[in-house]
Amino acid sequence: MAEALGMTGSAQVMDLSVNDGNNYTPTYAIYKNDIPVCMALINFRADKSGTSAYTVSISISGGDTGQPASTPSSIKVKYLSASSVSQKANFTWAGQTSDGRPMGEEYIQTIQCDLTSNTCQILVPTPSFALVFLNDKPLEESMDGGNGEGGEVTMYSTTAVTKTMNTAKIDQEVLATSNGHWAGDLPHNSDISVSNIEAVKAYLSLHPHSSTCGIHDTPYSLILNLDNSDLCQLYWESLLKHGKDLSHPDNYCAIALESCFLKFGILIVLHKLTKAAEDGNLIPASQNGFCAGHCTQNNAFILRSLIKCAQT
């Protein structure tokens, strides 16, 4: 972030809403004094096969803008790379590893642009962050600490080495749930467990469903009497597409409408997602229905009360 925005205080960031505003592929343009200097490209997908990598095509002016094309002949890119989005160590920035201090040889990739089509093509692997430098000035600033004077960035030893007493520490278990919403494994990305089966059975016991049995001709009453461990194994093998990433919603089987067996599995996913949203305080007070405690009748009552207040 420091390298992307620099130290001048003049940086402006614009969300380009690429891929129809897809949350997994946010893309930002960074301007200084109204001139584009960098692009920040992110791929949050954790697809180890690489099929979710995407390519960004950058053009500066030209085309339908009515302005002369100003796409550079080449650009430079630094990549932040890791094997998963939840990885906490052993990631690289421009080819260097770090313990708080860059180690190893820095690698900045140079990409040649096509001036005929006025485009530069940047590959964004899964998962990764690509910082694209559209000219050399922001790159030079990132390499000299932003002071514009050139030279190496000054390095300092960490206080964990130089100050062995009164050094701030934090309990690792506390840290695991205090960095963002979750720094550990997301609860809805965890394996299906017996407790998940028990939770859905308890829900169905409290909310009886006389639902369509479907082609399997299996009612909920039969499923409720099956062994929890067997059900756990069954749904773990059937809900997630074989060998696919847990965190990608497209890797789960389709919603079922006419089978109690499949609808039971969908309830497992629903309960896991709901718990994750509640634990992370992600459900706003304005939520209208589709969630326990957020009845749509409340909204009608609030609207009626506001109308009456306005009339008086």
Q: Which two tokens stand for residue 156?
A: 């300092």
CA distance 88 to 84: 9
pLDDT tens column, 288-303 = 777 777 776 667 777 7
Instruction: Give the residue, 109 or 4, on which the prediction is more confident.
Output: 109
CA distance 230 to 258: 22
Mean pLDDT score, 276-285 = 75
Residue 74 corresponds to which amino acid? S
pLDDT at 57 over 60: yes
User: What whole-number distance in Å separates Cα of residue 225 and Cα of residue 200?
Assistant: 13
Domain parsing of the chain, residue ranges:
2-148, 187-283
Does residue 150 have a pLDDT over 60?
no
Rounded to whole angstroms, how far apart are CA atoms 171 and 87?
19
What confidence score (pLDDT) does residue 130 get?
Answer: 93
Both tokens of 69, joined, read 């094309």
Give 3-state DSSP helix, strand, coil % of the chain, rounded to 5: 30, 20, 50
The mean-pLDDT minimum among 53-57, 199-203, 271-275 falls in 271-275
Whether the predicted model's global pTM rises above the 0.85 cut: no
Distance CA 141, CA 146 (A): 4
Do 43 and 85 touch, CB atoms closer than 8 A? no
Pick the CATH number of 2-148 from 2.60.40.1180, 3.40.1450.10, 3.30.590.20, 2.40.100.10: 2.60.40.1180
* Range with the poorest average pLDDT among 45-54, 145-154, 282-291: 145-154
By the 10 Å C-beta count (0-12 exposed, 13-18 middle, 19+ buried), 122 is classed as buried
* Percent above pLDDT 90 for the chain: 12
User: Which pLDDT does position 181 carry in this prediction?
Assistant: 44
CA distance 83 to 52: 13
Residues near 184 by Cβ (< 8 Å), separated by ≥ 6? Answer: 86, 176, 177
Band of pLDDT at residue 184, cut at 50, 70 and 90: very low
pLDDT at residue number 4: 81
**Residue, of 96 and 70, whose pLDDT is higher:** 96
Query: Scanning the structure block, which residue is given the tokens 């409340």?
Result: 298
**Among 185-194, 197-206, 213-222, which range has the highest average pLDDT?**
197-206
Q: What is the 3-state secondary structure (H, E, C) of 235-296?
A: HHHHHECCCCCCCCHHHECCCCCCCHHHHHHHHHHHHHHHHHHHHCCCCCCCCCCCCCCCCH
Percent of the chain whose predicted confidence (pLDDT) is above 70: 69
Average pLDDT, the chain: 76
The pLDDT tens digits of the residues spanning 203-251 come to 888 876 666 666 667 788 888 888 988 888 877 666 665 566 656 666 6
Chain CA centroid to CA 110, Å: 27
Q: Is the separation of the CB atoms in 224 and 260 below 8 Å?
A: no
Predicted local distance difference test score (pLDDT) of residue 137: 83
Residues 111-130: tens digit of each pLDDT: 999 988 888 999 999 889 99
Q: What is the pLDDT of residue 121?
A: 93
CA distance linking residue 231 with residue 237, whole number of Å: 10
Residue 86's nearest CA partner among 177, 175, 191, 182 is 182
